[in-house]
């Protein structure tokens, strides 16, 4: 019995002496147990978070698609707009018309009303209207030569000296070569320039064409207009 009493007394002394260390160790053990228990439940929490993340990603993607469609629709609407077209010739109301950019030549002609002697046999009524374009409706007694849907009226008994100035934006190769100093190759250069750079805004742009210098331009400018 004395042995057991001594052993018990030693344990009490050890615990009393090292009790703070025992308490710290016990706290660490409790923390470790709590950590492992938390980790055991963590995968299900991750799955829930992933599910939420997937939903958020889907919502963001749907939102991006919707914004993209809205932007495309707005861009399409802004491109519709209007165009200004100069209509001349055998119509009751020749004028500069403001038309929807989706309109066709036929829509413009209906608005201006053709004269009884108008000849539209060479006019492409289905052609889409282009901003700043001039359209000429000839009469039945006019000879018409067309190229690239642009037309230039001429009378068969007229010479270049007797004609009015040639519009660079509606001229074709046949009408250009009637100008003194303009041969087939130079006429093609003029038409190629218009095709690459769009319609002429000034006769002075002729100087930008290969083969037409300052001196040549001074001789040619009297024959052209825009």
Q: What is the pLDDT at residue 74?
A: 59
Q: What is the pLDDT at residue 210?
A: 85
CA 151 to mean position of chain CA atoms? 29
Q: Which residues of 151-183 are buried (b: 16+ CB within 10 A; e: fewer)?
A: bbbbeeeeeeeebeebbbbbbbeebbbbbeebe
Q: What is the pLDDT at residue 24?
A: 84
Q: What is the percent of the chain with per-residue pLDDT over 90, rounded to a whole number? A: 18
How does residue 2 score in pLDDT terms, banded at 50, 70 and 90? low
Spatial distance between the Cα atoms of 169 and 158, rounded to a whole number of angstroms: 21
Q: What is the pLDDT at residue 161?
A: 42
Least confident among 28-42, 44-58, 171-185: 44-58
- Domains of the chain, start order: 67-140 (3.10.20.600), 142-226 (1.10.150.280)
Q: What is the pLDDT at residue 65?
A: 66
Q: What is the pLDDT at residue 56?
A: 60
- Please write the tens of the pLDDT for every residue from 181-192: 888 899 999 999
- Please write the tens of the pLDDT for every residue from 83-106: 999 998 889 999 999 999 999 999
| pTM: predicted TM-score of the whole model, two decimal places | 0.36
More confident residue, 47 or 187: 187
Spatial distance between the Cα atoms of 60 and 120, rounded to a whole number of angstroms: 56
| Segment 195-224 mean pLDDT | 88
Residue 84 tokens read as 């200004």
Conformation bin of residue 225: beta by default, left when phi > 0, alpha when psi is -120 to 50: beta
pLDDT, mean over the chain: 77
Least confident among 60-64, 117-121, 123-127, 172-176: 60-64
- Please write the tens of the pLDDT for every residue from 121-158: 888 899 899 898 889 898 887 654 444 444 444 443 33
More confident residue, 52 or 225: 225
């Amino acid at each position: 019995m004395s042995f057991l009493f001594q052993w018990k007394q030693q344990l009490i002394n050890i615990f009393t002496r090292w009790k703070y260390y025992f308490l710290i160790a016990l706290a660490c053990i409790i923390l470790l147990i709590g950590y492992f228990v938390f980790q055991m439940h963590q995968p299900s929490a991750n799955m829930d978070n992933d599910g939420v993340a997937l939903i958020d990603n889907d919502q963001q993607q749907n939102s991006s698609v919707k914004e993209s469609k809205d932007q495309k629709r707005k861009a399409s609407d802004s491109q519709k707009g209007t165009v200004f077209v100069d209509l001349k010739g055998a119509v009751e109301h020749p004028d500069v018309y403001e038309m929807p950019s989706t309109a066709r030549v036929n829509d413009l002609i209906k608005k201006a009303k053709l004269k009884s002697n108008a000849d539209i046999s060479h006019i492409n009524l289905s052609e889409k209207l282009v901003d700043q374009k001039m359209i000429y409706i000839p009469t039945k007694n006019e000879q018409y030569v067309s190229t690239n849907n642009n037309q230039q009226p001429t009378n068969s008994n007229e010479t270049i000296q007797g004609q009015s100035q040639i519009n660079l934006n509606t001229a074709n190769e046949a009408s250009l070569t009637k100008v003194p100093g303009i041969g087939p190759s130079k006429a093609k250069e003029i038409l190629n320039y218009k095709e690459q750079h769009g319609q002429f805004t000034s006769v002075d742009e002729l100087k930008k064409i290969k083969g037409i210098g300052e001196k040549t331009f001074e001789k040619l400018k009297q024959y052209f207009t825009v």
